[in-house]
């Protein structure tokens, strides 16, 4: 019983990011006005330690 409780505790800590940096989401929006009108751009990224994955639309 103690062994299964320990395994469950390790999985719970891993799921919440206690064993490493948690995922950090980020959103950036840009609005620009020029002679062609108003343009918007939105970027989304997720960081985990030194690794960042993102995209824009």
Sequence spans of domains, the chain = 21-57
- Token pair belonging to 43: 């970027």
What is the Cα Rg of the chain in Å?
20
The pLDDT value given to residue 16: 57
The pLDDT value given to residue 35: 92
CA dist., res. 14 & res. 19, Å (int): 6
Task: With a cut of 50, list the residues of the chain below it in pLDDT.
Answer: none
> What pTM, to 2 d.p., does this model score?
0.51
């Amino acid at each position: 019983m103690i062994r299964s409780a320990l395994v469950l505790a390790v999985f719970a800590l891993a799921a919440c990011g206690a064993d490493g940096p948690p995922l950090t989401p980020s959103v950036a929006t840009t609005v620009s006005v020029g002679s062609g009108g108003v343009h918007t751009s939105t970027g989304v990224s997720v960081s985990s330690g030194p690794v960042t994955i993102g995209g824009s639309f």
